[in-house]
Structure 1
Amino acid sequence: MMKLALLATLAGSAAAFAPAQTGARSTALNADFSKELGVQMPLGYFGGGFLKDADQERFDRLREVELKHGRISMLAVTGYLVTYAGYRFPGAEDIPAGFAAWPALYATDDGKQVLAQMFLFLVTAEIANRSADWLDVEPEFVGDYRNGALDFGWDKFDDATKLKKRAIELNNGRAAQMGILGLMVHEKLGNVDSLLPPHF
């Protein structure tokens, strides 16, 4: 009997070192993004298939891209409307409004210099508007590119006001993306003048 107990103990201890049976694991975290900033009426939560099996890192990357495109689109709509209203920099009075400005700028030497300046500005903005890891400044949220240099009173707001302002920026960016797309389509259709009054 003693030998049987000893044998059972040895078999049990050997089983402790045997490889464990593991089931198949899913690599997707199935994170719930339905409570994130930007989920609001009228659309509510809309992932568009981009968030299927996404983790927080992927969501943050997509949010950063959405903010960046929104910020660029807000500048684009503003620039389109300002030039359409007839405002120009000195020396650029003959440049047409809208997307017809690109070939007009490319056609002259001065225009090519303007395009080169625009390109250099965009490269500089791209380099400057990112997280500066070397500054030892932690961004407050995804898309926070202040890098400890720009404040404009942001740090004086309470958390609810900050969240509200971030939601406003996000939705203004979404609207601007649709706005510049609409202006592009209507310019190609040739009916921008029926949408925007001349020199409004």
Structure 2
Amino acid sequence: MKVISLLALAGSAAAFAPTAQQGRASTSVAAFEKEVGVTAPLGLWDPLKLIQDGNQEKFDALRERELKHGRVSMLAVVGYLTTAAGIRFPGAENIPDGLASWQALLDTRDGQNVLMQMLAFFAVAEIVNRDADWLDNKAEFVGDYRNGALDFGWDKLDEATKLRKRTIELNQGRAAMMGIWGLVTHEVMGNSILPGGYLPGH
């Protein structure tokens, strides 16, 4: 836990480095300054120097992972807060919220069935949510898994609106990653950050 705290502290400190030090990035990295998600106040934030070589394929792979983790984290925060509010699926009324739910699901045959269904869903989502190379279409951007089948009005939007919406999704995903991390960390520490001092799993 101390190592994680030190890494987080080091990463935070890099955000406040003087501009002269940050300006030493190679010219190949400067191309990433125009990528979606490079927003104030951090701009292009790469404290671990993962993209210093200017490799576009590596950047795209990292962006795809960032999007996936952000999307999963948005669902996780909603699920965590929904169960903390007392809402349950029918038949799961006795399952506790928070981290205690995992053990409760493992302890019963019905709970194990739920976990198996979750695992099957994760596998199918992982397979389906990727660019289908065998189809005669090309993804518009990294993380575009519509595969020519879904639109919901996206293709009617102008480029500026698309860029804004993609930036919003990235930033909301980043906030959700920090949000679920914070919720779980506070639960483990035994400190409630929810209204009324409620502490899930306790």
The alignment's TM-score, normalised by the length of structure 1, stands at 0.81
Q: Identify which of 29, 32, 37 aligns with 1:31.
A: 29
Query: Residue 97 of structure 1 corresponds to which residue in structure 2?
Result: 97
- Equivalent residues of 2:29, 2:52 under 8 A apart: no
- Equivalent residues of 2:95, 2:105 under 8 A apart: yes
Bigger-Rg structure (1/2) = 1
CA deviation after TM superposition for structure 1 residue 35, in Å: 1.9
Identity, % of aligned positions: 62
Query: Residue 135 of structure 1 corresponds to which residue in structure 2?
Result: 135
> CA–CA distance in 2 between the matches of 1:117 and 1:29?
48
Query: Residue 46 of structure 2 corresponds to which residue in structure 1?
Result: 47
Structure 2 residue runs of 5 or longer lacking an equivalent are 1-25
- Equivalent residues of 1:38, 1:167 under 8 A apart: yes
Query: Are 2:86 and 1:86 aligned?
Result: yes
Query: Are 2:108 and 1:108 aligned?
Result: yes
CA deviation after TM superposition for structure 1 residue 54, in Å: 3.3
CA deviation after TM superposition for structure 1 residue 41, in Å: 1.3
CA deviation after TM superposition for structure 1 residue 29, in Å: 8.0
Query: Are 2:153 and 1:146 aligned?
Result: no
Residues 149-164 of structure 1: pairs in structure 2 closer than 5 A: 149-164=149-164
- Equivalent residues of 2:37, 2:171 under 8 A apart: yes
Structure 1 residue runs of 5 or longer lacking an equivalent are 1-27
Alignment RMSD (CA, Å): 1.6
CA deviation after TM superposition for structure 1 residue 120, in Å: 0.3
Deviates more, 1:147-156 or 1:104-113: 147-156
CA deviation after TM superposition for structure 1 residue 196, in Å: 3.4
CA deviation after TM superposition for structure 1 residue 195, in Å: 2.9
> Which amino acid is the alignment partner of residue 63 of structure 2?
R
- Equivalent residues of 1:31, 1:56 under 8 A apart: no
Query: Residue 170 of structure 2 corresponds to which residue in structure 1?
Result: 170
> Which amino acid is the alignment partner of residue 111 of structure 1?
G
Provide, for residues 36-78 of structure 1, a one-character-per-residue CA deviation record: whole Å limited to 9, x for no partner: 1111112222012111213111111111110010000000001
Query: Residue 119 of structure 2 corresponds to which residue in structure 1?
Result: 119
Query: Residue 195 of structure 1 corresponds to which residue in structure 2?
Result: 194
